[in-house]
Amino acid sequence: MTILHTTRLLDMKTNVFRSLSFLVVLASSAAALQDKLVVEAGRIVTLAGDDIENGVIVIENGRIKAVGKAGEVQKPWDATVIGGSELVAFPGFVEAHTSNGMDRANENLDVAPFLDIRDSIDPVAFYFEDCLRYGVTTVNVQHGPNCVVGGQGMIVRPTGMTVEEMVVRPRYGTKISVSPKQGKSRATQMQQLRETLDGLRVYLEELIEAERDKRGYAEREALAQGRELTSEEKKGRSMEGKAWKVDGLELIPRGAIDEKQAPLLEMVEGRRMVFLNCEEAMDVEHAIEFARTNGFLEKSVLVLDVRCWRAADAIAEAGLPVVLEGGLLEMRRNPRTGEEEETFVPAILADKGIRFALSSEASGQRSLWYQAALSIGEGLDRSIALASVTTTAAEILGLEKEVGSLEVGKMGNVVLFSGDPLSITSWVERVVIEGREVYDRRKDVRNKHLLEGTQPRGTAAVAEAPVQEDDHAEEEGEEAKEEEAKDDESEDGE
Amino acid sequence: MKATMRSAAALYATVLPLLATLAQSASSQDEILQVRAKEVVLSDGSRLENGVVVVRNGKIERVGKLDLDDTKPFLEHDGVLTAGLIACQTLSGMGTEAHDGTRSLLPEARIAHAHSPRHSDFEKALEVGITSVVLTPTDENVAGGLTAVVKTAGGTVVAKEAHLTLSFSVHAFASQPQRFGRFFSGEDDGAAEDGGLEDTESDSRSSRSPTSYAGALLALDRRLEDETGAFSRAAKGQLPVLLTAWDRNEVARAARFASANRLAGAIRGAPLAADPGLLPLIRASKLAVVLGPFAVGHKTRALEAVKALQDAGVPVGFALDAPSSAPANFRLTAALAIAAGADRTEVLRSMTIVGARIAGVESRVGSLEAGKDADFVLWSGDPLDLSSRVEAVFVDGKPAWRNR
Amino acid sequence: MTTRTALLATAALAAGSPATAQEDWVISAKTIYTAAGDPIEGGAITVSGGKITALRGGRGTKLEVTAVTPGFVDLSAGVDTGSSSVEQTTETSVTFSVAETIDFFSHRWGRELASGVTTVLAAPLDENVLGGLCVVVKTGGEPTLEARLLRKDVALRASIGTQPSSGNSTPNAFRENTIYVRRPTTRMGVEWVFRKAYYDALNAQRFRFEVDADQAAQNALLLRTIEGDLPVFVKTPATQDVRTAIHLKREFGIRNMILDHAAEAWKELALVQESGVGVVLPPFPADGRLRDPYANDSYFLALDAAAKLHELGVPIALSGDGARTPEDRIARQAGYAMRGGLSFEAALAAVTIAPARMMGVDDRVGSIEVGKDADLVLWNGKPFEATSGIVGVFLDGKLVLDARASTAEAGQ
């Protein structure tokens, strides 16, 4: 956007021309024309108050500018308008944790906090396509659970051809697994976790000591690692550890800290989100203890398998939020009676006041809306169920001001459904991410295939009238002849 | 001549000369032995203090609180005397002869021909007080053959053809153990021999018909129409059957088969016989049940089956299942059953007279009654108490084993 | 209440004494979906003596729910006892009946009840081309055939495709000669076995051949499928299997044929329609692909398959295939079929009265009508909706599943 000033006219003597007149021209870049979007819907579910009948959402520069009834909201004349009265608008769903959409979820290395998921995310993965299909507009991608300390994750929008286009929050969160990595026992897993952070402390202490001996270390170290020191990194800063700290860290510019240790330092200073993977209830207590001892309890999120409901009291007491993976029901067989028992876990979490988000991990491709719907059927309160895939999930990711509901100021992430968002017969028709329409079901070829399949060549389309039963049609040949005759008029069905 | 002994330890020293004495008098006299024990336990559970058993020519002549005839050989035992124990199922002494993999239906095969009387399995059985056993084939044939009742010493065959064995177990079927266990696989749900959950598929690799429950039932139905042979005798009620079944659905099928065809005999296996769905079927079939052997770690619901069957009036016998099960488990079976609530007297009866009845040989063995074979055991204490020792075992009136 | 245990039929219902009489119930619901006409709003069902005695109020223990449907009928529930459910020494075990071989003690009956299925078809495993006779049984009650049997020997089970030939191998000098070294080893072999059985039966009839008793019994059964009263229930997962089955139907004049697990029947709409076969669809996979466990192949089940077939008048039924997770159970399949365009009424019929009719047990089950068995599924919302859950199941007039307080309603 450029502002052109016209200079005052030369040789003007009248008062009228004494004032400077500015001509402000908004030079429109190609994107600015699309920066205004109006979404119309027969009903808008805002999740921030009552539903709005015959509503309108105005999105400008990626943010919601207005939400309200059609007659009460002013639509910019130069906005693109999408939607229709047969559609229902809903906030984009928020996937609070996933390890999909990337190349292999874990590295062989047990402790790899320096890995960055940006190197592994695949923008054209089917998972992101399916996110759009099911209205998921914000995704927190983290490393997988098969590690001791995994790498750094990222919050992304599931649209874009490059990772850069997808990024919402880079270098977001570090994955830790309390459940043992494949091949390890719990004892060795915990020991390695402790060792990792003890190793951090030792490293820092040694670093400080070395610095006390010689200065100029910072520049040399950064050079060696091929990095430039940013202004923040050039400065030293004392350690802010909540549970433990070392003295003298202000002597070391942040940029000089080994990039393998830097994320751990941020973690211990409570400046990184930590996603703790727990598969058994016993792991939960270890996770809480580990987080507390190392000062990142307030930044921790538990990623739980269904079996962990047994640790609900400990979770509630620690006040930690939960992402529930592995489904909604814990199923087990009573070894004495042989009967099958099911425990609906979200209800237990809700009862104890634990904030939780659901995950699409266990539902194949039926995704978050389906998990929320199933939960309601199992008896979970409707507002809690909806929140667990929108506002609560956003809150867990620190994005409560950005996504999760349709409110002025939040990102313009809107999903348009063909009917009630939780009905089995409703489809996602359109998806808008930050004011841009990124999905239209009418153009979704894979969805069409799923719904209708592809008619193979040679098989007839449905005849207008039922064909008379042919008594002698014993051989395949006869059948093939009939089909060949019809082939000319039949479509491929594609 | 007088021959007296006071202590069990001296038994050895005095029995040999006793035998010598007997031998001297063999040609001219009957062989007589009198045994007085501190406590003689009879088959109805009653106990005779200082009871005496008189043996003549290998048979029991009299039992009671009698006076000893000093002129005849006698021995005094400072402990308990019971009838010899009867095991209603075992594979003792048969090695690999218990299983024929070539055909599934072998109703005329006589197991009596398969055992070696001098095999050490029998001595091991003797050590725990077992004097008669029912030899059976494995449960890997739908009709495995005809069982035999043999003594564990002396090689006497008490009954050459005691039962026709039929297997309702999935072990009788050929199967390729890949990809077949589907959603309702009975094997997954069923009872392993210890009453726990079965977790292995049958690994019998023989490929013979039938391979399914339906096929087996069809084959059995057809054979029961035979005019001669073991099946026809069973159908006429002349030959009892011994049906092996483990899973609840197998036991149910076996019981119903017996009821429908009016077959008499027993079910062997049935660790979950106490299941409320099974008990009425078993009762209606009028079959007895052969349970065990139990070992440490057996599931409680299997142990409770003994009591449940007793309460329902179903006769119970115990299996030995040597050599895969240690013979000592026979006594452990009784102890575990009692710990799970079974009646003591009834358990002892199951190990003796009821076992004999199930084996079809109660006219000859199983209790201390005049006319029966002189098979009895000298114990250091109550036989149901695991801390009691077997001091000596007599078979057909002769000392067959003694504790050294 | 968050932990739910399906009351095992044996524990809950096995009556020790005749004194445990059937209870009387009056179940009122916002909507009763009878599958026999329009839904009844604000009505009540009276249950007595195991039957539905009235569709209005009456006397009995009162129960109030949001919606009621008939108990579900699943023709493809995977009821078997593993490999001992099929006679593997032959591919044609036509006269074998599964009736006596069902394991009524299996814990999986509880699972079926929890998913609302009150009636199932038990069939021989599909390792044989002609497997034998199927029976229709209830999923609860005393664990005996007498107590649970609805109808015996209702259909002849057949299987076309890869499954019957899997496990068979060709003769080979280095391979042990077992019963599995035999034909068929291919699809054409499977079809050959099927045709031979029928061919022999028809020839024996026509030329009055002398055959032994077993063969005669087999021939008689096969002729019954032609002359009318015995349906053939044939598993046909792939398109070519559907075609093969229909060609065989035509060749031998088999009167009544129902295709099971017919995932690709939608690819041959005209053929299926004009042949008059019924179709039972397997559960809808999320990505549409059903992998063939016996061959390196997969089949595609389009989401609108049920809708398309129904539109053409083809009798359809849905199935749960013994699904373990609640997402895959039969009630969810009705929802997915609706997602693919099937109407609610047709979806309801496809899990109740239509399968009952296919197997000739619709005089007893499949709809809520006076005189029929009191097999009911109670809901806390509109049935088959994603947000609705099953809160209770009645079988033969007894409440066998009581998941939670029946008056709780799904968040509406």
CATH topology of domain B86-359: TIM Barrel (3.20.20)
Position B174 scores a pLDDT of 57
C208-220 mean pLDDT: 92
Domain presence at residue A31: yes
- Find the CB nearest B183 among C144, C294, C322: C322
Partners of B189 on chain A (C-beta within 8 Å) are 338
Q: Which CATH number goes with the domain that contains A451?
A: 2.30.40.10
Query: Taking a contact as any Cβ pair under 8 Å apart, which residues of chain B between 235 and 274 contact chain C?
Result: 247-249, 252-253, 256
Which residue, B223, B269, B231, B222, is CA-closest to B250? Answer: B269
Position B347 scores a pLDDT of 96
Q: Predicted confidence band at C324 (pLDDT cuts at 50, 70, 90)? A: confident
Q: Are residues C235 and C303 in the same domain?
A: yes
Q: Predicted confidence band at A460 (pLDDT cuts at 50, 70, 90)? A: low
Between these two residues, B172 and A310, which has the higher pLDDT value? Answer: A310
Domain presence at residue A182: no
pLDDT tens digits along A393-425? 999 999 999 999 999 999 999 999 999 999 999
C103-114 mean pLDDT: 89
C277-290 mean pLDDT: 94
Between these two residues, A301 and A5, which has the higher pLDDT value? Answer: A301
Could you give the C-alpha distances from C339 to A45, A450, C188, C260, C381, in angstroms and in order? 22, 11, 37, 22, 17
Q: Predicted confidence band at A387 (pLDDT cuts at 50, 70, 90)? A: very high
Between these two residues, B101 and B269, which has the higher pLDDT value? Answer: B269
Q: Is A404 helix (H, G, I), strand (E, B) or coil?
A: coil
Position A461 scores a pLDDT of 52
Q: Look at residues A347, A370, A399 and tell me which one is the last residue of a structural domain.
A: A399
Domain presence at residue A195: no
Position B54 scores a pLDDT of 94
Domain presence at residue C139: yes
Domain presence at residue A378: yes
Between these two residues, A467 and A243, which has the higher pLDDT value? Answer: A243
C255 contacts chain B (CB < 8 A): no
Q: Predicted confidence band at B180 (pLDDT cuts at 50, 70, 90)? A: very low
Partners of A336 on chain B (C-beta within 8 Å) are 301
Domain presence at residue C286: yes
Q: Look at residues A117, A148, A177 and tell me which one is the last residue of a structural domain.
A: A177
Between these two residues, B273 and C89, which has the higher pLDDT value? Answer: B273
Residues 6+ apart with CB under 8 A from A95: A131, A136, A138, A139, A140, A359, A360, A368, A393
CA–CA separation, C134 and C116 (whole Å): 21
Domain ranges in chain B are 8-83+367-402, 86-359
Domain presence at residue A115: yes
A66-77 mean pLDDT: 94
Domain presence at residue C409: no
Domain presence at residue C411: no
Which residue, B101, B161, B171, is CA-closest to B134? Answer: B161
Position C171 scores a pLDDT of 79
Contact A335 B301 (CB under 8 A): no
pLDDT exceeds cutoff 70 at B295: yes
Residues 6+ apart with CB under 8 A from C151: C135, C136, C359, C360, C361
Position B19 scores a pLDDT of 54
Cβ atoms within 10 A of the Cβ of A441, count?
17
Q: Are residues C353 and C384 in the same domain?
A: no
Partners of B212 on chain C (C-beta within 8 Å) are 83-88, 93, 96, 101, 124
Domain B8-83+367-402: give its CATH architecture: Roll (2.30)
Domain count along chain C: 2
Partners of C408 on chain A (C-beta within 8 Å) are 379
Q: Are residues C202 and C110 in the same domain?
A: yes
Q: Are residues C31 and C87 in the same domain?
A: no
Position A419 scores a pLDDT of 95
C190-203 mean pLDDT: 95
pLDDT tens digits along C35-60? 999 999 999 999 999 999 999 888 89
A302-330 mean pLDDT: 95
Range of the domain at C385: 9-71+373-402
CA Rg value for chain A = 29
Position B215 scores a pLDDT of 87
Between these two residues, A293 and B188, which has the higher pLDDT value? Answer: A293
Residues 6+ apart with CB under 8 A from B71: B1
pLDDT exceeds cutoff 90 at A296: yes
- Percent share of chain C, pLDDT over 70: 92
Q: Are residues A334 and A380 in the same domain?
A: yes
Contact A453 C287 (CB under 8 A): no
CA–CA separation, C310 and C297 (whole Å): 27
C202-213 mean pLDDT: 92
Domain count along chain A: 3
Range of the domain at A59: 1-92+404-460
A289-296 mean pLDDT: 95
pLDDT tens digits along A174-190? 999 999 999 999 999 99
Q: Is A136 helix (H, G, I), strand (E, B) or coil?
A: strand
A264-285 mean pLDDT: 95
Q: Look at residues A123, A148, A177 and tell me which one is the last residue of a structural domain.
A: A177
Partners of C247 on chain A (C-beta within 8 Å) are 473-474, 476, 479
Q: Are residues C334 and C259 in the same domain?
A: yes
Q: Are residues A309 and A392 in the same domain?
A: yes
pLDDT exceeds cutoff 70 at A331: yes
Sign of the CA dihedral running C395, C123, C125, C71: negative
Q: Predicted confidence band at A255 (pLDDT cuts at 50, 70, 90)? A: confident
Position A456 scores a pLDDT of 62
Partners of A327 on chain C (C-beta within 8 Å) are 325
Domain presence at residue C367: no
Domain presence at residue C98: yes
Q: Predicted confidence band at C89 (pLDDT cuts at 50, 70, 90)? A: confident
A258-279 mean pLDDT: 94
Q: Are residues A314 and A393 in the same domain?
A: yes
Mean pLDDT, all residues of chain B? 85
pLDDT tens digits along A476-491? 444 444 444 444 444 4
Q: Are residues C132 and C266 in the same domain?
A: yes
Domain presence at residue C84: yes
Nearest chain C residue to A457, by CA? C267
CA–CA separation, B366 and B370 (whole Å): 12
Q: Are residues A375 and A426 in the same domain?
A: no
Which residue, C193, C234, C300, C192, is CA-closest to C76? Answer: C234
Nearest chain A residue to C307, by CA? A452
Q: Are residues A81 and A122 in the same domain?
A: no
Contact B276 C98 (CB under 8 A): no
pLDDT exceeds cutoff 60 at A1: no
Q: Are residues A38 and A124 in the same domain?
A: no
- Percent share of chain A, pLDDT over 90: 68
Q: Predicted confidence band at C228 (pLDDT cuts at 50, 70, 90)? A: confident
Q: What's the N-to-C CA distance of chain C in angstroms? A: 20
B197 contacts chain A (CB < 8 A): yes
C371 contacts chain B (CB < 8 A): no
B145-168 mean pLDDT: 94
Between these two residues, B177 and B116, which has the higher pLDDT value? Answer: B116
Q: Predicted confidence band at A28 (pLDDT cuts at 50, 70, 90)? A: very low
Residues A147 and A303: beta-carbon distance below 8 Å: no
C266 contacts chain A (CB < 8 A): yes
Q: Are residues C118 and C242 in the same domain?
A: yes
Q: Are residues A376 and A418 in the same domain?
A: no
Q: Are residues C203 and C282 in the same domain?
A: yes
B301 contacts chain A (CB < 8 A): yes
Mean pLDDT, all residues of chain A? 85
Q: Which CATH number goes with the domain that contains C120?
A: 3.20.20.140
Q: Are residues C56 and C96 in the same domain?
A: no
Q: Which of C269, C345, C387, C401 to mutate to test the interface with A (most CBs of A within 10 A)?
A: C387
Residues 6+ apart with CB under 8 A from C346: C306, C307, C310, C316, C337
Long-range CB pairs of C346-351 (<8 Å, 24+ gap) are: C346/C306, C346/C307, C346/C310, C346/C316, C347/C306, C347/C318, C347/C384, C348/C33, C348/C35, C348/C69, C348/C383, C348/C384, C349/C35, C350/C306, C350/C310, C350/C316, C350/C317, C350/C318, C351/C72, C351/C73, C351/C74, C351/C317, C351/C318
pLDDT exceeds cutoff 60 at A352: yes
Position A26 scores a pLDDT of 39
Q: Are residues C248 and C105 in the same domain?
A: yes
Q: Are residues C313 and C381 in the same domain?
A: no
Q: Which CATH number goes with the domain that contains C14?
A: 2.30.40.10
Position C405 scores a pLDDT of 43
Q: Predicted confidence band at A66 (pLDDT cuts at 50, 70, 90)? A: very high
